Each structure stands twice: as structure tokens, then as C-alpha cells.
Chain A
Amino acid sequence: MGCNELIVCENVSLGYEGQSVLTGLNLTIRAGDYLCIVGDNGSGKSTLLRGLLGLIAPQSGTIRRASELEKGAVGYLPQQTKAQKDFPATVFEVVLSGCLNRKGMRFFYTAAQKSEALMNMGKLGILELKGQSYRDLSGGQQQRVLLARALCAASRLLILDEPITGLDPAAAQDLYKTLTYLNEKEGMAVVMVTHDLKASLRSARTVLHIGRRGTFLGTPAEYLASPMGRRFQEEQS
């Protein structure tokens, strides 16, 4: 695979226990891409993310991932769990845990890793929250903390699962701006599963719609003009 290719899916089928939720998918994610994955509930968006992350193997076809991804250098932003909401941990502790994948056999963090964590916190404007407890933050701040952790883990690819769930409109706006910044200025590839069609299509360069009647892959403009896009828009509004 080419050096700027991060993930290449060829004719991939994904699913659980013999049941496919997604078939015949061809998708290439390159450095600097901005891909939005949309689709109905239960259409297999989360399953696709798990496949991209290497957590499940495809039932058929191949998913090739760049060697750095195989080593765990993925900036993953999972959906928040209930248990995290009241988790006693400082912001610094959480962000620093993103560096774990490069710790190797060492048991403690190096000074370089600590300063990298601080740098990523600065980038996302949460440096002054360093000693605060994660559970005392607002939803938007928590999302920034998790994003800073993701930046510690990866330099080329962010994968986000419904990142604006539970955020107020202003915080959601903020998050989109940050993602655009990271994508345009830092060359981070962004792959995002989302329900928020309007806002996400403004920044995305590619859309993947997963539906029960097949998939669509193209630019936002092409998507909005396609029958699939039109129907999905109507259902949303």
C-alpha cells in the first residue's frame, strides 16, 4: 500500500456471528482525508469503525492498515460510557494515557511524553484544566480532553464515534472547528461517524452513507444530490 494510504478496504464484509451487516465495501482512507460516515441506526456504522480500528476481522475481503496503526497509533474517540461521567481522574492523567501505546515495555512515562501531553492540551485549550477532575468538566471540555488524549496516541489518523452526542450547539460548533483545524493545519485524517448531517457535511470532504439498500461514497455535494442523500436529509429534518 502507498505511503499516504492509512486504511484500504477491499470488498469488505463485516458482521457478527455469521450475520453480515455490511457487504462489498471498498474504501481507502489517505493521509489528510476528512470522511463522514452517516446512515440509519443499526446500519453498521459502529461495526465499520470496529473493523477500521482492527478490533474485528472482516468476514470476507481485506482491510489493510498502515503499519503504525497496527502498532496502536490510532487517535480513537469512542462514545462516552456511563461509568466515565463520574470517573475520578485528573485531566492530565487522562490525556497522558494516550501515550501508553508508545510506552513499550517501560513502566513509566518519559519526560518527552509528558511534555507532549501538555502540548496537546495547549493545542486544544485545556491546559488550565490540567489538575481538575474529569468528572467536574462540562461535556464539551470532556470531549476536548478525550481529543487531546487521541492526539497523544496518533499523529495521522483520528477516528471519532458520534463525537457531538450530548454536546450543546456551541460546544458542537467548537468541536467541528477544532477538527477542521487539525485536518487542515496538521494534516490529520479525520474519520467520523455522525448523526449531525448538516454541520458535518460543511467540513467533510468525503461522505460514506451506509444504508440497508447499499452504500454511497462521494463528495458532500454529490451526496446531497443523490437520491440516498435526499431521502436521508428529509428523514433528518
Chain B
Amino acid sequence: MNILQMFSYPFMQRALIAGVLVSLCAALLGVSLVLKRYSMIGDGLSHVSFGALAIAVALRVAPLWFSIPVVILAAFLLLRVADNPRWNSDAAIAVMSASSLAIGILVISLTTGMTTDVDNYMFGSVLAMTKTDVALAVVLCAAVLMLFILFYHKLFAITFDENFSRATGLKVSRYNTLLAILTALTIVLGMRMMGAMLISSLVIFPALTAMRLFRSFRGVVVCAAVTSVLCFCAGLTISFAFSTPVGATVVAANLTLFLLSCLFRLLRR
């Protein structure tokens, strides 16, 4: 099968554009989240977005417009929990994940029944991207890029040392909130293509790979963005050529690159 032929399908064009943009956002936000030890938040949010999606479908409302506020709310809550020393934050996130999943599955089985829909929500479908999704992905990506270009130094300072940043007058919680909102949007947008169970890997893998290859923050940020986009394109092409599910294929591509980077780091020592 010809690679050019693959993009003659409109759904593939949409998947490519939205996917590349979402992967780029996920990788950039992921660097900050992973370094701040917030990786689990990404995972928790994807489960919440599954529950939200199921409820939206049952209520027959537009899934995006329902999921976005719910997931943003969850992101706020998880950030609060993660920052409060008195809370056992990983337990809280695990509880939230499992509950959202359970609620989602209950809602689906009571309404439409356990059809292929569930499978699509969980593990993604390349057909899921609509024109609205693509437009939203463009807006989201512009916002994330602007944040990273204009406020790069502040983001670095806050990621490296929140306490110092706070003491020297940075509005740390404002940036954290912004990061949480953008992460929530990225997850909601990417989830139907990548799958609720797999989307968080888009946030975490590129950062981990880049951390093994580069020693400067700038290097890590750029490398994460590049690897994420490359892995998505590779994953999409392979999934089309071999008719494999797109989400899992993209994750496999990320995993391969991550393992290679581990090997590279071992050899360099």
C-alpha cells in the first residue's frame, strides 16, 4: 500500500493533523508534569474523561462540550490533592480513576449496552476525529506553543523549584492551573483517537525518552516534542499499513523509542 494513498482519505487527514497537534501539546505539557512528579494526574484525567464521555453519549449531548468542563474540574481537584501534604495523593488519584471507569461502564451498559463503542472509547479509533476536533486541536496547540515560547523561563523556574519561584514572587498556582487546564484539554481531545487507557502515555513517554537523551531543560523540551510527533506519525502509518489499532501502535512506537533511549544512556556511561 502506498503511503501517499493513505492520506487521500479525509478521515486519515483529520487523524494526522489532530494527532500531530495533540501529540505535540501532550509532549510539551508532559515534560512539566513528569518532572514535577505529576504523571499520575495525566493518567487519572484520562479515566475521568472516559466516564465523562460515556455520560455525554448517554445524555445525547456533544461529547466534547460535556467532557471538557468535567475533566478541567477533575484536573483542578487532582492538583489540589497532589499539592496538599495531608492527602495521600496517589491513592486519591487511583480511587478517582477506578470510580470514573466504573461509572462510565455502568452508564454505557444501562443505556446503549456494551457495544463496540466501549472498545472505541477505551482503545481509540482512527475514525473518531471530526472537523471540530481538528479545529480545537489547532487552537489548543497554538495556546500551548504560545505558553511555552513566551513563558519558557517561568515554566522552567516553576518546574524546577516551586518554593523558590513562589518566594521570588512568581504566581505559581496560576501557572499550575493553566498547565492543568491545557493538559485536561489535550487529554479530552486525544482520547477518542488514542483511547482512554492509552492517552496518558502520550503525556509521559516523550518526556521520559527525552530525559534520557538530553541534559538541558531546553534539550529535553525540544526532544520530547520531536519524538512525540515522530512516534505519532510512525504509529499512524504502521497502523494503516497493517490494520492495527492506532492508539496501541502509537504507544508501541513510543515504547520502542524509550527503550532505545535507555539503551543509549546505558552505553554512554
Contacts and interface: CB of A to CB of B under 8 A. Distances in A.
Contacts of A94: 160
B2 interface: no
Interface stretch (A76-84, A120-128, A174-182, A209-217): A76-84
B153 A107 contact: yes
Chain B binding surface, main DSSP class: helix
Interface stretch (A31-39, A95-103, A164-172, A186-194): A95-103
Chain B interface residue number, banded: 20 to 34
Nearest to B154: A100
Interface in A71-130: 71-74, 76-78, 81-84, 86-90, 93-94, 96-98, 100-101, 103, 107-109
Given A83-B35, A100-B170, A78 B156 contact: no
Given A72-B170, A83-B35, 5 more contacts: A82-B37, A83-B36, A87-B160, A88-B35, A103-B153
Contacts of A83: 35-37
Contacts, number: 91
Contacts of B161: 78, 81, 84, 97
A136 B214 CA distance: 12
A93 B216 contact: yes
Contacts of A135: 215
Interface of A: 53-55, 71-74, 76-78, 81-84, 86-90, 93-94, 96-98, 100-101, 103, 107-109, 132-133, 135-136, 146, 149-150, 153, 159
- Those 4 A-B pairs whose CB atoms lie nearest each other, nearest first: A72-B169, A133-B215, A78-B163, A72-B168
Given A82-B37, A83-B37, A87-B35, A108 B167 contact: no
Contacts of A77: 164
Nearest to A135: B215
A93 B167 contact: no
B219 interface: yes
A74 B216 contact: no
Contact of B157 (A73, A97, A108): A97
Contacts of B210: 88
Contacts of B219: 88
Interface of B: 35-37, 149-154, 156-157, 160-161, 163-170, 210-211, 214-220
B47 to A, nearest CB: 24
Contacts of A93: 156, 216-218
User: Which of B37, B150, B168, B220 neighbours the largest number of chain A CB atoms within 10 Å of its CB?
Assistant: B168
Contacts of A109: 153
A153 B216 CA distance: 21
A212 B218 CA distance: 47
Contact of B216 (A71, A72, A88, A100): A88
B222 to A, nearest CB: 12
A88 B160 CA distance: 9
A71 B216 CA distance: 29
Nearest to A76: B167
A54 B163 CA distance: 12
A101 B35 contact: no
B174 to A, nearest CB: 15
Contacts of B149: 107
A97 B154 CA distance: 8
A124 to B, nearest CB: 16
B167 A90 contact: no
A84 B160 contact: yes
